[in-house]
Amino acid sequence: MAEDCIRVLVVDDTVTYRNIVKFVLAGVPGIEVVGAAANGKIALDKIEQLRPDMMTLDLEMPVMDGLEVLQHLKQSGDDVGTIVLSGTTERGASVTLKALELGAFDFVAKPTCGTSEENVHALKADLQPKIEAFARSLHVRKLLSGQVRRNSGTVATAAPVEKNIMPPRVDVVGPARAELVAVGISTGGPQALNQMLPQLPAKLGAAVLIVQHMPPFFTASLASDLDKRCSLKVSEAIDGQEVKPGHVLIAPGGKQMKVVRAGPCTIIRITDDPPENSCCPSVDYLFRSVTRVYGQNAIGVIMTGMGNDGTLGCRQMKQRGAAIIAQDEASCVVFGMPREPIEEGIVDVVAPLEEIAAEIVRRVPHQVVV
């Protein structure tokens, strides 16, 4: 194996799933499986012995579960990138969000109906791009620290990352007018939203709509968790719900969300329309409707995540006069979704995660929310 390959530890209490994950990883260039563990205690011993770059981690295990492993790694400062394997139940979603809070890179859903060839293929389709995204993220960190050269040929060495194209800061002239903030986010999203949303004031004079790439159950758990942390009211969006200032609505996993006019009001429509950019919910789908309904009276915010969902939507919003804010490369877990809008020059401000809320507030009027 090449020196710059990604060393992976597979952790699961079920030998069948360990073998499935190993099979998936064997098809990813630049990945070396260096070991496996049947519970968290064994995993911690193997991490100390083998020093893997990353691990796949089952959350439900005997002796020591996945959350305990992540808590230990956080306390010890060991830098092991983690993709958790999660159940697709309400409890599984809640536990997965805790894992993301503890520093897990991302998650994939375990098949719920056994280990048929179809389910194995589905797991591979979900897991492989996230493994590759972590590999690129790790390589970027190594590039920035000077640990590797740019010309290596593995998956860990994706196209060199250019420096952010930092557009001039656009000062808000005259009265702020944004009535809606539309946010698109994916990998690293729960952690980023946990930091950004609590910074928005309770008297924010605009509604906030969020597309976070997640499956069913997970978005409801995310909304419930954020609601406990924020001054604003946060909930999973419901079809027909009115869009109101001071409320944050998160698109349900597995559905599409858009806004439409209904007389003097704007309401949410939740649909079964097909995925866009392989995403459901899709950022482009939401942003397109925001362009039609709000035009220049909106703000588009594009944040950490894989792929390019949201690029077309940002372009459409910008053409109608909306302001676009993008998260900067350094604070993104994966600098995918903000990259293209920044490089196209359609972004008004590129901001680190800790400054995004302030950039939103600069463009939104304050009002008493009733």
Which residues are catalytically annotated?
Answer: 186, 213, 309
Phi-psi region of 263 (alpha: psi -120 to 50; beta: other; left: phi over 0): left
Tokens read off for 121 = 């293929």
Please, which residues have CB within 8 angstroms of residue 301's CB and are 6 or more apart in sequence? 181, 182, 183, 184, 324, 325, 326, 327, 356, 360
Q: Do residues 359 and 351 lie in contact, with contact meaning Cβ atoms separated by under 8 Å?
A: yes
Tokens read off for 42 = 């064994």
DSSP 138-183: HHHHHHHHT-S-TT--STTS-SPPPPP--PPP-PPPSS----EEEE
Per-residue exposure over 50-59, b if at least 16 CB sit within 10 Å of its own CB, e if not: eebbbbbbbb
Q: Do residues 285 and 273 lie in contact, with contact meaning Cβ atoms separated by under 8 Å?
A: yes
Q: Do residues 286 and 250 lie in contact, with contact meaning Cβ atoms separated by under 8 Å?
A: no
Q: How far apart are CA 315 and CA 96, in angstroms?
A: 33
Burial of 198 (0-12, 13-18, 19+ CB in 10 A): middle
Q: Do residues 355 and 325 lie in contact, with contact meaning Cβ atoms separated by under 8 Å?
A: no
Tokens read off for 53 = 């770059």
Per-residue exposure over 234-255, b if at least 16 CB sit within 10 Å of its own CB, e if not: bebbeeeeebebbbbbbbbbeb
Q: CA dist 81 to 66, 105, 207, 348, 356, Å?
A: 13, 6, 35, 32, 25
Dihedral angle of Cα 3, 156, 103, 183, to the nearest 10 degrees = 170
Strand, helix or coil for residue 298: strand
Cross-strand partners of 236: 250
